[in-house]
Amino acid sequence: MCEAMCGLAIEVDGERILSIRGDEEDVFSHGHICPKAVALADLHEDPDRLRRPVRRRGSDWEEVGWEEALDLVADRVLEVQRTHGPHSVAVYQGNPTVHNYGAILFGQMLLRALGTRSRYSATSVDQLPHQLAALLMFGHQLLLPVPDVDRTSFLLVLGANPLVSNGSMMTAAGIERRLRALRARGGRLVVVDPRRTETAALADTHLAVRPGTDALLLLALLQVLFAEGLARPGRLAAFTDGLSEVEGLARGFTPERVADRTGLAAADIRALARAFAAAPSAAAYGRVGLSTQEFGGLCQWLLVVLNVVTGNLDRPGGAMFTRPAVDLVAIADRIGQRGHFAKGASRVRGLPEFGGEWPAAVLAEEIETPGKGQVRALLTLAGNPVLSTPNGGRLERALASLDFMAAVDPYLNETSRHAQVVLPPVSPLERDHYDLVFHALAVRNTAKYSPPLFAPKADGREDWQILHGLAERIASRGGRRGLGSRLGSLAAGRLGPRGLLDLLLRLGPHGRGLRPWGRGLSLRALEKAPHGLDLGELEPALPAALRTSGRRIALAPPLLVADLARLRSRLDAPDPGGGLALIGRRDLRSNNSWMHNSARLVKGRERCTLLMNPSDAAARGLADGERVRLRSRAGAVDVTLAVTDDMRPGSVSLPHGWGHHRAGTRLSIAGARPGESVNDVTDELEVDGLCGTAVLSGVSVEVTPAAVPADVVR
Ligand code: SF4
C-alpha cells in the first residue's frame, strides 16, 4: 500500500486469511511491516467494497454487468467529446495508481485513446517539485536521487516524517531501524519541521522552522558554505555548470538575514551548514512538507544544490541514483517522455502544465468556467480528489455539475459518489504485484514479484482489464487512433501486464534480453525467488546517467533562478507575523484517504485532531479536548483541539485524508469515525507560483471556539 514495499507472509485456509506477517526472508524489508499490512485482510473482506460495477438510478445504485458498464462509460465519454471537443473529458489519476503496475501500463493506453489534454493527478499535491528539479537539473523528470540512508553519516530531513510515512521518495522499509543504525554508527540525524514529529523525536537535533520558509533556510545554508569555503563539490565540479552563479545567488541570504523569517537562530543555521559540510558523507532529503509550500519548487532545487556543492550527490552515503530492474528513465526516454514544463497554460488561471498534466488546484474552475475546453465529464482512476486536493468543498460542488462522471474505484467514496458509473477492480490480494515505481526510488537495488494470493471471482476485473476495456471501446468507436496504435494496444492486451513486465525486466539493466534462457532477469527468474532478488547497493551513476545536453548538471536553471525574485520580494516585504499557519500530518495507521474503512486501523484514540502549541491555545482561550473551528478563506471545519508543545508556536496541524461524513458514500466504518477533511480548509487559490503545486503547508488560518456542534453545522 505504501512506498516501503514490505514483503508479506500471508497464511490462508482456502479463501480465509489466517494471518499476515512480515516476511523475514524478504531481501529488502527483512520482516518489517506496519499495522496497515494486517488491514489488507479488512480491505479484502470488506462488505462495503464493490464487487461489481454499479450504475446510478436516481439517488440509488444498481449493479450492472461489465460489458454494459464499460459500453455505457465509453459511449457517454464519446458523446461528451463529440459535443464539446476532446478536452472536455478530464482524467484524474490518484496515488494508488503508482502502486499498481497494470494500472500504470494500461492507464497510458486509455489516455491515448481519449486524446484529452485535460489530465490531472495527485502529483501536483505531492512530488511535482521533485520532478521539476530533476527535469531542469538532470534533464529527466524521473532522475530522482534518494538518500543512501544505510551508509550516510548525516541525514538532514526537511518537511518529512519517515517514521510515519515509512519513507517516501525514499523506499526504505524498516526506516526506524535504519535511522537508529545511522545514529548507532556515530552518524547524525537532523530534522527541520514546524512540529516535533516522530522522526524529530528520534533525531539528534530538531529545528522547528516556520512553515513555508525552508527555501530561505536552504539559501542561508548555501551562503555559509560558500562564504566559509566549505563548498567542495569534488568530482561533480567536472560536469556541473552554474556553481559560481549559485554562489552569487546565495550571497544575500545570510543566516542573520533569514533568522526572523525562518524562526531559527542564525547560530543554529551556521552550525548546521558546518556540520553538514564536515560530515564524511551527508544527504539532504525533503518531502511533502517541503514540496507543498509557496516556494516548493525552489526548495527542491536548493536541496539538490546543497547535496551537489558539498560533493554529496552521487556518492555512497549521499544522495544517489538507483539502478532498478525496470529502468523507468530509459523507458520514458524511448517513448519521448523525459518530461516537460510550462508548454501550455491552464485555460482559466493560466497555471503551467507539468508532464502533460494541469495542477489539481485548477480542476474545479475548469469544470465551472464556460467556454471552449470546459471540462464536462470526468474519469477518476483510483482517486479521491474531494479529500486530497485543495478546497475539496468547491470541487465537489463542481463535480455535481458535470454532464457525466465515472470512477474506477472499489468504493463509493467522497468523490466516486458523484459518478454515474463506478467500475470496481478486484482486491489487491486478487492480483499480482511488481512495484515499477518504488523499486526505482529504493535505498537498495532489489526486485520482487508476487503472484495473486487468490484467484479473482468469476466476474472480477483487474484495473488493467478495466482500463484496457475502456481504451479499446473508446478507440474503436471514436476512431481517434491510428492503425499502429490500435495494433499496439491489441498486442498489449494479448500480452497482459505479466507479458509486458517480462519484456521490461528482460530489457532492463539486469535483464537477460530476449534469450529464452541464460543469466539475468526475466519474470520467470523473479517467480523463482518469492522473497525477492538483491541487486546490490546503490552505485555512482553520473555523469553517464544525466540526460542534459553534454551530460552536465545544470545547477542554476534559468526558470528556478528567476523564481528567486519572488522569494526575495517576500523577504523584503514586512513580516505578516501574528497569525496561524496550518500544516499537514500523517499517521501510521492511515494511508491518505484509503484505509479508514478498516475497523482495526481507526479504532482507539481520535486521530483527526488539530495540534496547537499551549501559548497559542492560551492566547485564544482554548483548552485541550475542546471543539474548535478551523477557518481559512476557502472554508471551515470543526475539530477537536489537542494542545501540545510538539507544535511550534504559530503553527497548527491537521492530518489529511479524513472527512468521511458526506452523505451518499458507502463506507460504514469510516462514516462512523469521519474526522474532518483538511482540504475543506486548504485553498485552491494558494499555489506555488512557479509550478502550480498546491500549498498544503503554511495555509493561513484562524482558530476559534466552535460556535455550534459540528453535526449541526453539517
Ligand atoms: S510500511 Fe507500507 S508497505 Fe510496509 S506494511 Fe506498512 S503499508 Fe505496507
Q: Output the domain CATH number for residue 159.
A: 3.40.228.10
Using alpha carbons only, give the angle 102, 597, 657 rounded to the nearest 5 degrees.
75
Our answer on whether the CB atom of 38 is closer than 6 Å to any ligand 1 atom is: no
pLDDT for 484 equals 65
Tell me what pLDDT residue 714 has.
40
pLDDT tens digit sequence for 151-182 = 999 999 999 999 999 999 999 999 999 999 99
Q: What pLDDT does residue 478 have?
A: 80
Give the count of beta carbons closer than 10 Å to the beta carbon of residue 592.
19
Same domain? For 300 and 425 the reply is no
- Report the nearest-CA residue for atom 2 of ligand 1: 2
447 and 469 within one domain: yes
Please, which pLDDT band fits residue 199 given cuts at 50, 70 and 90?
very high
Same-domain check for residues 521 and 627: no
Which 3 state secondary structure label does DSSP give 645? coil
Ligand 1 midpoint to CA 169 (Å): 14
542, 236 contact by CB (below 8 A): yes
Find out whether 696 and 633 touch, Cβ atoms under 8 Å. Answer: no
Amino acid at 6: C
Cell of 566: 519572488
What's the predicted TM-score (pTM) here? 0.96
- The answer, yes or no, to whether any atom of ligand 1 lies below 6 A from the CB of 4, is yes
What is the pLDDT, as a whole number, of residue 489? 78
Same domain, 614 and 523: no
So what's the pLDDT on residue 707?
75
**% of the chain beyond a pLDDT of 70:** 98
Q: Are residues 226 and 368 in the same domain?
A: no
Q: Which three cell numbers stand for residue 280?
A: 564524511
Question: Rounded distance, CA 88 to CA 77, Å?
Answer: 9
Domain CATH code at residue 482: 3.40.50.740
Looking at the CA of residue 166, tell me the nearest atom of ligand 1: 1
Assess whether 589 and 636 both reside in one domain: yes
| Residues of the domain holding 207 | 132-324+549-561
Is 166 a pocket residue for ligand 1 (Cβ < 6 Å)?
yes
- Residues 140, 121, single domain; the answer is no
Q: Is 6 in the pocket of ligand 1 (CB under 6 A)?
A: yes
Kindly state if the Cβ of 592 falls inside 6 Å of ligand 1.
Answer: no
Same domain for 176 and 118: no
Domain count, the chain: 3
pLDDT tens sequence across 328-377: 999 999 888 899 999 999 999 999 999 999 999 999 999 999 999 999 99
pLDDT value at position 481? 59
Collapse the DSSP code of 38 into the 3-class scheme (helix H, G, I; strand E, B; otherwise coil) and give the result: helix
Decide if 33 is inside a domain: no
* pLDDT band (50, 70, 90) for residue 311: very high
How much is the average pLDDT of 393-401? 97
pLDDT tens digits, one per residue of 67-82:
999 999 999 999 999 9
Q: Give the tens place of pLDDT for each residue, 25-58.
A: 999 999 999 999 999 999 999 999 999 999 999 9
- For residue 2, the ligand 1 atom closest to its alpha carbon is 2
Q: What DSSP element (H or E) covers 206?
A: strand 205-207
Examine residue 230 and state whether it is found in any structural domain, yes or no. yes
Residue ID of nearest Cα to ligand 1 atom 6: 34
How far, in Å, is the centroid of ligand 1 from the Cα of 5? 6
Work out the angle at residue 632's Cα, subtended by the Cα atoms of residues 371 and 619, and round it to the nearest 5 degrees. 170
Q: Are both 405 and 449 inside the same structural domain? A: yes
Atom of ligand 1 nearest to the CA of 5: 3
Preceding amide of 452 cis, omega within 30: no
Residue 38 within a domain = no
Mean of all residue pLDDT scores within the chain: 95
Is the distance from the beta carbon of residue 40 to the nearest atom of ligand 1 less than 6 Å? no
CB-facing half-sphere around the CA of 467: CA atoms within 13 A:
28
Pair type for strands 283-286 and 699-705: unpaired
Please calculate the CA angle 190-222-549 and round it to the nearest 5 degrees. Answer: 110
Q: Residue 445 in 3-state DSSP?
A: strand
* CB neighbour list of residue 572: distance below 8 Å, 6 or more residues apart: none
